[in-house]
Structure 1
Amino acid sequence: MNTHQTDEGTLSQVVAGRRDRKKAATRKAIEAAASEMYAQQGFRETSVLDITEAVDVSERTFYRYFTSKEDVLFGPWRQDLELAVDLIESRPANEEPLEAMKGALLAMAEHFEQNRQRYFFIAQLASSSPDVAAYQGQVIIPTVVEAFAEGLARRLGVSVTTDLRPYVFAGVAAAAVNAAMVNWVATHGERPLQDLLIEAIDLLDIR
């Protein structure tokens, strides 16, 4: 074994680790500053420039991490979506598509419960800000449906363009999730999100 090559490899790993930690810290700092400003002065009144000045980063840096100030508000929703799709694909092979989605979403519900105040805050802004509501309806929901459909297609071994099932199941499951979330935030978590998800998905009764 070449000791020099080993040392170089170790050094590269250390540098990469530091870089990743710095990126994560920057992302969290932007999210924290944005959330505080949204709460204090309002979402519409807060600009990307306001956020970057609070964190002392450039707007260019901001856009390396987020596509818009709406994207910051919803936090790491893309990573959460990737996790949900991974959970769907890893469910037992003998489960029906909707049952697999139900199991995966119930696992994700625990994450939502742990971050309930954030989601209640987002819902409050969505009800009063057309921009937030539009981002949710035009960006997040279609992306969720598409990701669910592609995950189900891989699970079923079919194509989303030639088999109706992935998009049908993904669409109705996303609608059920939305209904459960609306009830959950409207009542400030009076009922556990898991219970609402079970009830909403069971109403579909699709096989």
Structure 2
Amino acid sequence: MHTLRERKKQRTRDALLRAAVELFTSQGYDRTTVDEIADAVDVSQRTFFRYFAGKDEAALGLVEMTVARFVEAVRARPPQEAPLEALRRAVVDGWYSVNEVVESVVPVELYLRMYRVIEETPVLLAAHLRRSAEAEEDLARVIAEREGLDVDADPRPRLAVAVFSGVMRAAERQWSTGEDVGPEGIRLLTARCLDGLGPALLGDWREPGTGRGVRGPAQA
């Protein structure tokens, strides 16, 4: 049970995060200052820095929250699930649980707009990719623990997470540039991308009768 002081601190942090996202999506990351974010919540700049190290940390705050919830969801998957299945299920089955984390601060639509700001802002994209690499390492260790493996001796946990993360990155790029930004549309798109992993890696991409990839005598 959180104390009154802890709940008050959480409300202040959420308010700062919400104000930051609203300003970043309405006027741009570069044109928004820490003072503007603090003023929007009627607190001092000093108070802002109690909760965030800088603008970039506030800009990535929602993403950090969703990643933390996702790692928890993977850890909670049934132990009999294969690693990639556990990762897939944590995304698809836990989609609305992750949305609840976002909606505790801002509407999902605003979060999606913020994601586009991250994609379009080099300094934020670089920070996002760096933190994604750290999250992948956390996930690899969770998978290794589930499978009873030493993550530093067996490469499979990191390989599985790297493949999964690549698919998720492709899905994110697709929905961040598409017109359907509704949560259900994004969930279905993400599920389709994950379900296409096996065929993409193991299937034959060449359709019979198209002539693509047909080898002549000199190529045989």
TM-score by length of 1: 0.80
Question: Can you list the C-alpha shifts for 1:16-70, whole angstroms capped at 9, x where unaligned?
Answer: 5211210111012101221232234321011223222332333343233223212
> Are 2:92 and 1:106 aligned?
yes
> Are 2:150 and 1:130 aligned?
no
Gaps of 5+ in 2: 203-220
Letter in 2 for 1:173: F
Name the SS for the 1:91 alignment partner: coil
Letter in 1 for 2:148: G
> Are 2:156 and 1:170 aligned?
no
Higher helix share: 1
Question: Can you list the C-alpha shifts for 1:141-176, whole angstroms capped at 9, x where unaligned?
Answer: 112211211111111122221111111111111111
For residues 57 and 156 of structure 1, the distance between their equivalents in structure 2, rounded to whole angstroms, comes to 47
The counterpart of 2:70, out of the listed 84, 90, 96, is 84
> Are 2:83 and 1:97 aligned?
yes
Name the SS for the 2:163 alignment partner: helix
Letter in 1 for 2:161: A
The answer to whether the 8 A contact 2:70-2:91 is kept is yes
Question: Can you list the C-alpha shifts for 1:100-148, whole angstroms capped at 9, x where unaligned?
Answer: 1100011343334975413431233134321222222222x11221121
For residues 107 and 58 of structure 1, the distance between their equivalents in structure 2, rounded to whole angstroms, comes to 41
Number of aligned residues: 192
Letter in 2 for 1:56: D
Name the SS for the 2:114 alignment partner: helix
Identical counterparts, % of pairs: 30
The counterpart of 1:49, out of the listed 25, 35, 51, is 35
TM-score by length of 2: 0.76
The counterpart of 1:152, out of the listed 139, 143, 146, is 143
RMSD of the alignment, in Å? 2.5
What corresponds to 1:192 in structure 2? Answer: 185
Name the SS for the 1:199 alignment partner: helix
Runs of at least 4 residues of structure 1 off by over 4 A? 112-115
The counterpart of 1:67, out of the listed 50, 53, 58, is 53
